[in-house]
Chains A and B, each alone.
Chain A
Amino acid sequence: MDPSRQRFEHLYEAHRRDLLAYALRRATPQEAQDAVSEAFLVAWRALDRVPTGDPLPWLIGITRRTLANQRRGTRRRTALVERIAGEGTPESRDPADRAERGATLRALAALGERDREALCLIAWEGLTPAQAAEALGIPGTVFRVRLHRARQRLAMVMGECEPGHAPPVPEREPT
């Protein structure tokens, strides 16, 4: 088999699931599938530019831009987080846990796009800060600052989201 083709197939098999999961968290299934196909087509056309060591951040970056283009084109807000922020999670039976999840998603949806992306790349995609920075096309130091601020804002919003709770004043841990 052609070595390029072989490498591409390996790339496809190794990262398709991760890319689909990334896109599904942010778009409808149809849009997600289109964005992933587009990312792999870009990868196939520019195989020599795909990083050999760890191509996932590069691929996520392409998928992210494709999704952004789709959204610009359709002017629709389809992000899954935003759609489900008001809904419970069906698999959880405990109303308290369901409320907790709902509050987290609502807090996430209340953040800006950049904050949300920084947090989700780490928490949901499982990327390291260095990988996430590469996916976003920004220097690692800039990403770390962004992530730090996003976490602060999330903690702040979560404090506001949970009725009856005080803002997040860090408690001293009893020793």
Chain B
Amino acid sequence: MSRIDELLTERLRDADPLPHDELDRLLREGSVEELLSREPARGPARRSRRILWAVVSTACVAAVAGVLVMSLPAGRHVPAPANVGILGRPATDADRLPDWVREDQRVLEMRLDRDDARLARSTDTRRYYVVPADGGRQVCLVDIPVKEPPLPAARSGFTGPGLSNGGVQCAGTGVFTRRFMVVLTGYARSTRQIEVVAVAPDGFDRASSGDAVAEVRDNLAILRPSRLERTVRIAGPEGDRIAYQNSPWFPGPGPPSGPPTLDPSDLDPTVSVFNRPAGAADVPPRALKKALDAARRRPGGPDPEPGTERRVATTGRTSYWLVRDRFTGGGRRALLGLVAPWGATLRPISLPTRAEPLTTLATTAAFEPYGLARITLRTVVPDGFTTAIIGGRTFPVRNNFLLVRAVSVEVNYSVDLRGPAGRVVGSASLGGSETRFGIPSNEVVYGTEEVVSERARGAGLREPYAATIVAGLREDVVRVLGPWAETRAAPSSRTVQVVTVRSGDDALVLVTGSAAGSDLSVKQRRYRVGEVPDLSDLGRVRPLDLTP
């Protein structure tokens, strides 16, 4: 295979779209027994009889199923992940999520299968539900205070990570194959309220994190360690497992966060790669020249200095180039050029300074939920450093450039530079692969008030206005309001905002493009106040303050 072929194949591999969660889920389902129980008979004569039988029996089954379905209550059953037993147990009245949670914008947005929730634990102050989502592809933990929070003002926003509010966090069901879910349900350093919940698959009965140990019951353990630990463990008949907290608030342990440690402490980083005489390898290819020329022509952008192009690394058919940038608007930086057979791209790259002698931030991070991540680093390194140790592996530094691709690291990782110039250790944190959303989330898309006020004025409504807002699933909004309410929006935007503005006998109903993003494409219709459709089925109707 030629190098260009290798590079194409490598690029295709990078773009592999295999949904691993789905693969894990499917691998858990099915067995040889089940498969062979479907095996049809061999031979044409028997096959014909089988087909006849199949037609007759299918018709009978369909008729019976039809009767059964008609007699079942409305709603659909969501297949539960096979190894989270609580989701398979019969539902009771206690499993029903409170209405204020069922109608929450985030709960709607995240497609929680609200009718299939199971109450896993109830304490004096809080309840913990395990809920399937997205047609059984995900599992979520919904944790809420027992007492319903007062109806918040429309713009009070997210109330913080303490235990006074609720939250929802979801993970693909694939996470239960090798790890488990970890949710930081409470973290208030001032009151030392640290609560970590582990949602474990079947076959595990103990969980621990730091000095806290708890029993796993109904697939759930609540841990209250005195300090936040990075790792959570579960154990039981199925063995031991470890998962990593991926909370963005997580402070450590692991490599210390904060400023890098320097040896010598007065290290003055210099980068001499631009000053070395240009060699034959430093003649920039045509694609790079073209990209640099284009950059120079753009006003206010990078200003690459001619003659400072230096080839610093090559992988496959991609070459990496550093070019000095005379544009100083973005701090001390250079340009990184990536040249491949199909063209060149330019990216700004930080140069080391006394305050920041080492950039440790990954340019790419691929996460395994609650596990390790694979990172790619492209970093300009000061003179006098020859190796970098990352994730226990040693990488060479050449031409003031460190290039590391797809190396496995933990959520917190360090980059340890060594060489004749001394030693620099920097650390970084990758943050989380899952996000916990607060309930009640009462966010109104930024700018909504201004858009609504302007529309109301344009429609001839006289101030003062009284307005309410509700978020609903796009299809539900169209069902309630009619086809006019269909908005142009990205397919990923599942919920939309509906604002009703009243002024005297007149009302204006506006549907904005998204309740979760910045899309404010708006559809609107005038009504008489008494004719405004009832929107309370969509979700929690809240007041919206349009005071300028």
Contacts and interface: CB of A to CB of B under 8 A. Distances in A.
Contacts of B38: 37, 41
B15 A101 contact: yes
A123 B35 contact: no
A50 interface: no
A168 B311 contact: no
A123 B363 contact: no
Given A84-B17, A124-B18, A174-B280, A24 B23 contact: yes
Contact of A9 (B8, B16, B25, B32): B32
B16 A25 contact: yes
Nearest to A79: B17
Contacts of A101: 14-15
| Chain B interface, >50% SS class | mixed
Interface in B1-57: 4-5, 8-9, 11-19, 22-23, 25-27, 29-30, 32, 35-36, 38-40, 42
A175 B342 contact: no
Contacts of B14: 100-101, 104
Contacts of B12: 104, 108, 119-120, 123-124, 154
Interface in A53-92: 80-81, 84, 89, 91-92
Interface in A138-174: 151, 154-155, 158-159, 162, 164-174
B23 A20 contact: yes
A151 B285 CA distance: 22
**Of listed B27, B280, B433, residue having the most chain A CB within 10 A:** B27
A122 B10 CA distance: 10
A165 B17 contact: no
B342 A44 contact: no
Interface residues of A, number: 55
Contact of A25 (B11, B18, B366): B18
A29 interface: yes
Given A17-B23, A17-B27, A165-B287, A81 B17 contact: yes
A42 B105 CA distance: 47
A159 B342 contact: yes
A119 to B, nearest CB: 6
A165 B339 contact: no
A40 B38 CA distance: 11
Contacts of B345: 96, 162
A25 B9 contact: no
Given A20-B26, A24-B22, A96-B345, A171 B32 contact: no
Which of B4, B32, B285 gathers most chain A CB within 10 Å?
B32
A151 B8 contact: yes
Nearest to A165: B343
Given A24-B26, A101-B15, A105-B17, A174 B311 contact: yes
A94 B36 CA distance: 46
B17 A45 contact: no
A102 B416 CA distance: 33
Contacts of B290: 166
Q: Which of B23, B39, B283, B343 has the most CB of A within 10 A?
A: B343
A166 B5 CA distance: 19
Contact of B8 (A84, A155, A165): A155
Contacts of B22: 24, 29
B256 to A, nearest CB: 23
Contacts of B27: 16-17, 20
A37 B343 contact: no
A44 B281 contact: no
Contacts of A17: 23, 27
B15 A162 contact: no
A165 B365 CA distance: 26
B151 interface: no
B305 interface: no
A93 B362 contact: yes
A165 B343 CA distance: 5
A98 B7 CA distance: 17
B344 interface: yes
B286 interface: yes
Contact of B342 (A45, A84, A158): A158
B26 A169 contact: no
A8 B376 CA distance: 41
A92 B366 contact: yes
B282 interface: yes
Given A24-B22, A33-B26, A104-B14, A91 B365 contact: yes
Contacts of A133: none
B17 A40 contact: no
A108 B12 CA distance: 9
A33 B17 contact: no
B153 interface: no
A123 B16 contact: yes
B16 A93 contact: no
B17 A25 contact: yes
Contacts of A170: 4, 341
B58 interface: no
24 contacts: A17-B27, A29-B19, A33-B26, A37-B38, A41-B39, A92-B365, A93-B364, A108-B12, A119-B9, A123-B9, A123-B13, A124-B13, A124-B16, A155-B342, A159-B343, A164-B291, A170-B341, A171-B285, A171-B341, A172-B285, A174-B280, A174-B281, A174-B285, A175-B281
Given A92-B366, A100-B15, 11 more contacts: A12-B32, A25-B17, A29-B26, A80-B17, A108-B12, A120-B12, A124-B18, A164-B294, A167-B342, A171-B285, A174-B285
Interface of B: 4-5, 8-9, 11-19, 22-23, 25-27, 29-30, 32, 35-36, 38-40, 42, 280-283, 285-287, 290-291, 294, 311, 319, 339, 341-345, 347, 362-367, 376, 433
